[in-house]
Amino acid sequence: MSNTASLSTIHQHIMWNRLISVVEEQAQTLVRTAFSTSVREAGDLAAGVFDRQGRMLAQAVTGTPGHINSMAEGVGHFIAKHPVDTMEPGDVFITNDPWFTSGHLHDITVVTPTFYRDRLVGLFANTCHVVDIGGRGFGPDARQVFEEGVTIPILHLFRRGAPNATLLDLIRANVREPQQVVGDIFSFAAANDTGAHRLQSMMAEFDIEQLDDLAEFIFENSRQATIERIRAIKPGTYCNELTMDGYDEPVTLRAALTVGNGGIHVDYAGTSPVSSHGINVVLNYTKAYTCFGVKCAVAPDIPNNYGSLLPITFSAPEGCILNAPRPCAVAARHIIGHLLPDTVLGCLHQVLPGGVQAEGSASLWNIQLRGGSSVSPGHGYTGERPAFEMLHFNSGGSGARPRKDGMSATAFPSGVRGMPVEANEAITPVIFWRKEFREDSGGAGAQRGGLGQVIEIGGADGMPFDVLAMFERVDNAPRGRNDGGDGATGRVTLASGAALRPKGQQTIPPHGRLRLEMAGGGGFGHPHDRPAERVAEDVRNGIVSVSSARTRYGVALDADGCVDDAATAALRRCADSEQDLGTRLKHKDTLR
């Protein structure tokens, strides 16, 4: 190959790298300028660049999968309503329609066309969670989307550089924090501008007029690389079923995953119908977490874009909870959506060598609190009751991996971050009395499931307040794999012990404390295959109790906490003789 030809190959690699860097700059601008805690502290955002056909070229590393992949779908809807040939410099578009983008009204998507040498060459988009969108707010209690807040159809946010003042007035009039929400919307538009400037200078540097050739290069390479990975998997159909708590009745997620013809298809036929409350999932969001689950297990290192997502397809019957029609309520759709990677991984576990991680707590435990005399009944409380709204993201344990323990109190599949207690207490009249690992909540196994956590929150000075509960895995534990034990189920109570409903708005009475105990991850492999010394170390660290060490792991400890070898051998031998050794040996083989 001549040097010029080799240089052009290398330039394509470089421009691809550059695009990923450009969208990262876009995302960093979002993080720095946004008001909403969920964007700036928690990283509940997505940023990406698209070609003229609305196909995603690159996404920022910063961000969360539910947003990224559903934003990838969403840009097509903008183009369908406003064809690219009608877009003009200075135009910016906006929507929060759950069915066009990421599945609930709190997520606003802003799309900006980019022009180079007077021609539209691509589009920048971002999807971010705003602090409030009016209506009932971020909770599962609504029965129709109309109750959940204000819907912004696909509209111009700016037309040829001029803001859509009517729209902004309407939004201001309908949300609880108008200045912050409108401030956020402006920062979303500014972040897209940052990306656009970068893209334009890249095109000047490499002297290209359009992105079409680069797009084909990226898509084709990514698609081929993904297909190669899929071809390495034994063809067939692998089924899995997960039962979730749901709002007021259990929800079944059923998946048949078919590997073949250079693709993976996930069919959700047999999944429960829509719920009468706000835990329903739109197709975009189903696609987002389905693809994420497959990609993690099959092609984690291939950049996420239109091409790498092409070989992964899915179907969900209309009217099932994963393909909810308008006007179903959808605000707390993450509860179900976050379970999809576990559903898909359960299929892939049957065919991938070594298996994949056990089930985890999965659904974020988002603590949405609301206070003030117009919100909660006083129950005789006479002190001051300032109005407030608080959102705090929290995670239980993730599932044990084939060769590593699960991660404690760490989000999977969501990509959001938790927030400091001190920062929250500084701006919200609540006190966190406890936030720490939950002992014995990790599923027992050769590899232990990650621990859940316990949180206790009271009102400052004993003030009553409301919780908009949306907590999953209270009735259904994260399951272990290959004889690994289940993680502990979650619990939602008052610190006094009285049970609360895991879903729905409820009042924490004066001087009461909300106690949340999050689920632990499932274990992987038989607990008796965990080296006794590691169990003893877990006991020393207060992660596993002495009695669990004995009953679940078959490890006996002496008074100093050291392993009693003889007693341990006896415990393990005795238990092993009672169970089917054959299954265990088989699983041990798959571990190797």
Within 346-365, the residues that bind another protein by CB under 8 A are 356-357
Binding string, residues 173-192; x marks residues near another protein by CB under 8 A? ----x-xx--x--xx--x--
Separation CA 396–CA 339 (nearest Å): 13
What sections of 207-339 are H helices per DSSP?
212-231, 283-298, 306-309, 334-337
Closest distance of CB 296 from another protein, Å: 5
384 vs 436, which CB is nearer to another protein? 436
What does the angle CA 392 – CA 33 – CA 145 come to, to the nearest 5 degrees?
Answer: 50
Q: Which two tokens stand for residue 47?
A: 């940023």
Looking up tokens 């169970």 gives 579
Out of 161, 353, 377, 420, the only residue in the binding site for another protein (CB under 8 A) is 420
34 vs 72, which CB is nearer to another protein? 34
Out of 6, 496, 579, 583, the only residue in the binding site for another protein (CB under 8 A) is 6
Out of 301, 374, 578, 592, the only residue in the binding site for another protein (CB under 8 A) is 301
Separation CA 111–CA 551 (nearest Å): 56
Q: Are strands 367-371 and 119-129 parallel, antiparallel or unpaired?
A: unpaired
Separation CA 385–CA 428 (nearest Å): 11
Q: Are strands 367-371 and 503-508 parallel, antiparallel or unpaired?
A: unpaired
Within 532-551, the residues that bind another protein by CB under 8 A are 540-543
Of 559, 498, 477, 488, nearest to 520 (Cα)? 488
User: Among 137-145, 252-260, 376-384, 405-413, which window interacts with another protein (CB under 8 A)?
Assistant: 405-413
Within 449-488, the residues that bind another protein by CB under 8 A are 453, 456, 460
Out of 242, 266, 296, 344, the only residue in the binding site for another protein (CB under 8 A) is 296
Out of 32, 160, 234, 379, the only residue in the binding site for another protein (CB under 8 A) is 32
Within 95-154, the residues that bind another protein by CB under 8 A are 131
Binding string, residues 311-350; x marks residues near another protein by CB under 8 A? ----------------------------------------
Q: Quick check: 395 binds another protein (CB under 8 A)? A: yes
Q: Which two tokens stand for residue 266?
A: 């996930």
The beta strands (E) that lie in 472-534 are given as 491-494, 503-508, 513-517
Q: Quick check: 13 binds another protein (CB under 8 A)? A: yes
SS (H, E, C) 558-577: CCCCCECHHHHHHHHHHHHH
Q: Quick check: 79 binds another protein (CB under 8 A)? A: no
Q: How many residues bind another protein (CB under 8 A)?
A: 96
Q: Quick check: 435 binds another protein (CB under 8 A)? A: yes
Out of 168, 421, 495, 591, the only residue in the binding site for another protein (CB under 8 A) is 421
User: Among 35-43, 48-56, 75-83, 522-530, which window interacts with another protein (CB under 8 A)?
Assistant: 35-43
Long-range contacts of 202-205 (CB under 8 A, 24+ apart): 202/15, 202/18, 202/19, 202/22, 203/116, 203/121
